[in-house]
Structure 1
């Protein structure tokens, strides 16, 4: 199909059609590159604020973040993401049931794959897709899914076998008082 050829050719060389199929990829790479070491400052990203970078709040949030916060901000973001992955990995290995371990590993994989694909897309290593960056992209369903997964993981840590409890205690069940 012609549109498939256009997508592949614009991914391999976005300069072939800089005002058409390669526009998003080029503007994203310009935004990431123009951030420099310290960034342009919050609210001063020209690519996102002047409308050159389409969907800067969802699909290209990393490019907008990199332009406004710079390389140092990206390193801090990577550190915080790595800290989250490490804590989730530690938490999932401390689970005593297979469900606790596999749920934790699945959650890590889910968040990590979304992050890698989104960042790779924004720096031109992967083709443009609609995958959002966890915790930063504007959007409802993906954010709710990630936060729900984290809530379940924290609940398993607090009330599951990993917390040292081996049976269902009365204090684990919420008590409701009726008037």
Structure 2
């Protein structure tokens, strides 16, 4: 698959839901070439980070397949996240935060990796941004915080292999 070429953008478009959102799943991770573990480590949402039980960041050689060391998001209490949202089950909160994070990461990825192909991805980005603007963001976060965290992800990825103390660099809402 040619990175930056038409095939690459067709793949990205095929992953976008009719609503404009993207799903946080293995197909998305493969398309943007970022392992799920790295996306979860850098997510501003508690459920994504808590689902990783290890305190060491994944190695660059680590595959994207699930590891037995991971807990399911079902094993943590999501009731506080669903409070004040009538009819929201914990599973719905997980799905919603996954869509929010994947969508802002997709926007940042398009901006970061494909700036010279703006014409090709302009409609994909506009549709994603339109969906994002209509969404409620849980955990006291804002859309601006999500976008900043997604942009920081690409800075972190450039330095991931430099043996930095990664836990010090992970998203902390108190620093935004």
- TM-score, length basis structure 2: 0.25
Higher relative contact order (CA 8 A, sep 6+): 2
Q: Which has the larger radius of gyration?
A: 1
| TM-score of the pair, normalised by structure 1 | 0.25
